[in-house]
Structure 1
Amino acid sequence: MVQVPPPALAAVDVAEMELWERESAPAFQYSVRAGNLVKRLTAIQDRSLCTAEKPAVASHGHCVWDAALVLAEYLQGHVQPWRQAVELGAGVGLVGMTLSALGVADVVLTDQAYCLPLLQKNVEFNFSADRRPRVRELQWGAAETDLSPDVVVASDILYNASVFPLLVRTICQLLATPSSVMYMTYETRNAAMEADFIKQLEGQGLHCHGISLEYARYATLVPYPEEICLYRIARSHQVG
């Protein structure tokens, strides 16, 4: 059962907030439609919960960015009977928590150690112990042998080109089987850098398919949906 936020953490629905209000709010609510049910997730954006230790790579994971809202909303209409889902650079964990609310049984939210206390707070607040997504550290480029996801999700993780080779290595490891797929969104900030990342993925034999978004659907969530790019990444050419 979803907890009701205490007065100190009163959360407004994201559709009723301006961009600046959402980014500065200690929390907001996001609705997930699972069949005939609506689950209201509370996204806690409390940077003080992150560790005092400096992250290995600069982190902006203490708040929910536009690309995460767009990806969460897109996945609500395209969820599959996935067994395991992994979110990279999860930050607050909104996208992964959305998949868990949609019924994906094993959701693993990953990030640097710096963000894990905030991630843990979010999953504990929104899910009972028996239905809770897992939280774990994952440094890009590190060998991972115990994760075998059907789907990988990530939003706004293309802000540091120096770690692209490590990120590409991790994505290739996670998309180890032909049936695995990744959905990635980002807000266009440096088109040349972002295009280079896509080329690096394609250089490893991955197929990157840009998906057109119906901007009107997302306009109530983000101010400039036309600036959000969505890619489907897989080892096969299948589109969907």
Structure 2
Amino acid sequence: MKFTDSPVIELSVHDTRLSFQQDNGSMHVGTSVWPCSLVLVKFIERWLAVPADDTNPNPYASLLNFTGKRGVELGTGCGVAAMGLYLLGLHEIVLTDIAPVMPALKRNLKRNKPVLKKTLKTAQLYWENKEQIKLLKPPFDFVIATDVVYIEKTVGPLIQAMEGLLSDNGVVLLGYQLRSPEAHKMFWEMCVEVFDVDKIPHEHLHPDYAYEETDVYVLRRKKKMDP
């Protein structure tokens, strides 16, 4: 189920308003706005507003330190998460998706250029294409992915792409909603082989964007054990 069939979705980030044009007639899911991207952006916005000090500790202060960090978004679609994170301080970020989604993405980047003040970098990426991954010049400190687990056949390539793009000490910020029981089962079985998984408590999400069906996860590379 989509977030809404409205042709335009708006999202406030601090004092800025992003606006996204959906193509509800498209055959490609990437041309619609899905809830997890909104949930992830607003979670980050909430905790960036909490000062980190002894009297009021912020458990995400270190995680969400974007200063000097590089990010890449997989399956960026209309670009909601990446544009939101850019406004929240992740100023070096590449937005990736497959070729049929690129026109919708570029249209939305142009639509939001007045508030972004620049055109963000984009790149075509099919997750199984190792040459395209190499051209992105990994590793990245942040790999962002929202609502990308819905077909079994793409689960393996997705996890391989995450692994290939992420730095040793980097994190995957994953906005997640169960779309397919089969893909869900396969994803988490494969994921725990590669990553340590932390689920953000639901009460830590932004209260206005804590949809019952959506979750945010933080994935980190498993540390290699010494032989």
**Which TM bucket (shorter chain)?**
0.7 to 0.9
Preserved CA contact (<8 Å) 2:70 2:140: yes
Q: Distance in 2 between matches of 1:179 and 1:89?
A: 22
How well do the aligned residues superpose, as a CA RMSD in angstroms? 2.5
- Structure 1 unaligned residues grouped into runs of 5+: 1-18, 51-57
1:90 is aligned with what amino acid? T
Preserved CA contact (<8 Å) 1:140 1:167: yes
Matched, 1:140 2:127: yes
Q: Residue in 2 aligned with 1:45?
A: 22
Q: Residue in 2 aligned with 1:188?
A: 178
Q: TM-score, normalized by length of structure 2?
A: 0.79
Q: Residue in 1 aligned with 2:7?
A: 26
- Compute the displacement of 1:121 (Å): 1.1
Q: What do the CA deviations read for 1:121-164 (whole angstroms, capped 9, x no partner)?
A: 11112125863211111101111121332111111111101111
- Compute the displacement of 1:206 (Å): 1.6
Larger RCO (CA within 8 A; separation ≥ 6): 2
Greater Cα shift, 228-237 or 95-104:
228-237
Q: Distance in 2 between matches of 1:154 and 1:216?
A: 17
- Structure 2 unaligned residues grouped into runs of 5+: 49-63
Q: Distance in 2 between matches of 1:153 and 1:216?
A: 17
Q: Residue in 1 aligned with 2:201?
A: 212
After the TM superposition, which residues 1-240 of structure 1 pair with which residues of structure 2 at under 5 Å, given as runs?
A: 23-33=4-14, 38-46=15-23, 59-76=28-45, 77-78=47-48, 79-82=64-67, 83-127=69-113, 131-143=118-130, 144-145=133-134, 146-175=137-166, 177-191=167-181, 193-203=183-193, 205-214=194-203, 217-218=206-207, 220-221=208-209, 225-236=211-222
Q: What do the CA deviations read for 1:53-102 (whole angstroms, capped 9, x no partner)?
A: xxxxx731111111111111112225322521111111111000001111
For these two proteins, the number of residue pairs brought into alignment is 201
Q: Distance in 2 between matches of 1:140 and 1:200?
A: 16
Query: Structure 1 residues 47 and 115, CA, compared in 2 at 3 Å: closer, same or farther?
Result: farther
Preserved CA contact (<8 Å) 1:110 1:135: yes
State the secondary structure of the residue aligned to 1:180: strand
